[in-house]
């Protein structure tokens, strides 16, 4: 709502340039009216120019949750004074207490320092200058591209080992760890893009291109190598993986435990066999449910690779044409691996 290019941000920028300061409450007026003391009821359509004009008066401005109407101006907000606040200024202390008491969005614009502070449920976030956010976003994209390049390397190596039948748990966890790191870096960069608003469109395109397929890769890895192959188990592992602290994400013993193995397992020595979800996800136009039926029928990737066209065609949803495409797709994966290893 307050990103560059939005009407609300335009109004906020005008208040900053005028150095009048301001306090904006974005909430349903009826739900927050118990905090109001005095004020002028306007109930008019929002425009940046009107926000700038009414900000010249003392007191808070009340907008609806969509930021489309100005309901009140010059309102004195009276939050519970017993609510703890670490702020020192009157405007910011009021904003923090109101956000804790109502769970509404409160925007405090400093009169002297040109600082815009957002408060939501007691959390505070200070809007940064666009050049500073842009620099952080570009740095995030550069780091993300390095992470993605490394993920592609370990993923290609894992594919080759899967097709050769010499895959270890260490290889799997290396790829899973990299996929999660890329996902986290993308989420961090996306925060800057949201704050950039219209200024971040080009970076957003770079981000989308860089992370394409990563979420699917991570899910396919978990489905291929988790001890139990059920949708509930896969969802639980992905949820717990996303919640892992950074230090635990670097611990292969913890990652092995997530997949259902013993924490003290020697990941370098333990050979594991993929079920085949990850390899089948690389076959064009193969629906996920059909891939699931193929895995359930043959059990693992090695059996799928060695199956004849007739055996593949007998699986529900495959048929002769798709069986031929499936065989050609798996053969292409093997050929790509040979080219990668012997350039």
Confidence of residue 139 (pLDDT cuts 50, 70, 90): very high
| H-run or E-run covering 161 | helix 130-164
Mean pLDDT, rounded, for 232-241: 94
114: helix, strand or coil = coil
Mean pLDDT, rounded, for 196-204: 91
pTM (predicted TM-score): 0.80
User: What is the predicted pLDDT for the residue at 165?
Assistant: 81
Confidence of residue 177 (pLDDT cuts 50, 70, 90): very high
User: What is the predicted pLDDT for the residue at 249?
Assistant: 94
Q: Rounded to whole angstroms, how far apart are CA atoms 184 and 245?
A: 11
145 compared with 129, residue with greater pLDDT: 145
Percentage of residues of the chain with pLDDT beyond 90 = 64
Confidence of residue 343 (pLDDT cuts 50, 70, 90): very low
User: What is the predicted pLDDT for the residue at 288?
Assistant: 87
User: What is the predicted pLDDT for the residue at 337?
Assistant: 52
Whether residue 183 contacts residue 216, with contact meaning beta carbons closer than 8 Å, is answered with: no
Convert the pLDDT of each residue in 38-69 to its tens digit: 999 999 999 999 999 999 988 999 999 999 99
Q: At 38, phi and psi to the nearest 5?
A: 70, -155
Maximum CA extent, the chain: 81
> What is the DSSP track for 170-205?
HHHHHHHHHHHHHHHHHHHHHHHHHHHGGGGHHHHH
User: What is the predicted pLDDT for the residue at 163?
Assistant: 85
User: What is the predicted pLDDT for the residue at 339?
Assistant: 40
Q: Is the pLDDT of residue 199 over 90?
A: no
Name the average pLDDT for the chain. 90
Q: Is the pLDDT of residue 225 over 70?
A: yes
Side-chain-facing half-sphere of 25: CA atoms under 13 Å: 35
Q: Rounded to whole angstroms, how far apart are CA atoms 37 and 46?
A: 22
Which domains, from first to last, does the chain contain?
7-127 (3.40.1700.10), 128-274 (1.20.1260.110), 275-343 (1.10.150.20)
User: What is the predicted pLDDT for the residue at 336?
Assistant: 63
Confidence of residue 37 (pLDDT cuts 50, 70, 90): very high
């Amino acid at each position: 709502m307050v990103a560059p290019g939005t009407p609300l941000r335009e109004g906020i920028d005008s208040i900053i340039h005028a150095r009048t300061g301001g306090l904006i409450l974005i909430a349903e007026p009826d739900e927050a009216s118990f905090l109001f003391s005095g004020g002028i009821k306007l109930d008019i359509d929002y425009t940046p120019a009107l926000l700038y004009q009414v900000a010249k008066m003392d007191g808070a401005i009340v907008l609806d949750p969509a930021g489309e109407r100005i309901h009140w101006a010059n309102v004195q907000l009276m939050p519970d004074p017993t609510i703890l606040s670490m702020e020192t200024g009157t405007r910011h202390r009021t904003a923090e207490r109101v956000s804790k008491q109502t769970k509404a969005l409160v925007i405090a614009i400093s009169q002297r320092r040109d600082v815009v502070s957002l408060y939501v449920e007691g959390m505070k976030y200070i809007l940064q200058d666009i050049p500073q956010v842009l620099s952080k976003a570009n740095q995030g994209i550069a780091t993300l591209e390095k992470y993605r390049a490394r993920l592609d390397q370990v993923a290609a190596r894992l594919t080759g080992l899967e097709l050769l039948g010499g895959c270890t748990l260490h290889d799997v966890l290396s790829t899973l760890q990299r996929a999660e790191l890329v996902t986290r870096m993308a989420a961090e960069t996306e925060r800057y893009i949201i704050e950039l608003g219209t200024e971040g469109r080009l970076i957003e395109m770079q981000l989308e291109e860089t992370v394409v397929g990563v979420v699917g890769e991570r899910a396919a890895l978990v489905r291929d190598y988790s001890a139990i192959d059920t949708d509930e188990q896969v969802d639980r592992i992905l949820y717990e993986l996303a919640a892992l602290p950074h230090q635990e994400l670097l611990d292969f013993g913890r990652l092995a435990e997530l997949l259902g193995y013993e924490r003290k397992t020697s990941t370098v020595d333990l050979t594991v066999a993929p079920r085949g979800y990850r390899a089948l996800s690389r076959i064009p136009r193969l629906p996920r449910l059909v891939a699931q039926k193929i895995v359930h029928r043959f059990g693992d990737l090695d059996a799928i690779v060695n199956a004849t066209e007739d055996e593949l065609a007998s699986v529900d949803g495959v048929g002769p044409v798709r069986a031929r495409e499936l065989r050609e797709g798996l053969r292409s994966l093997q050929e790509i691996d040979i080219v990668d290893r012997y350039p």
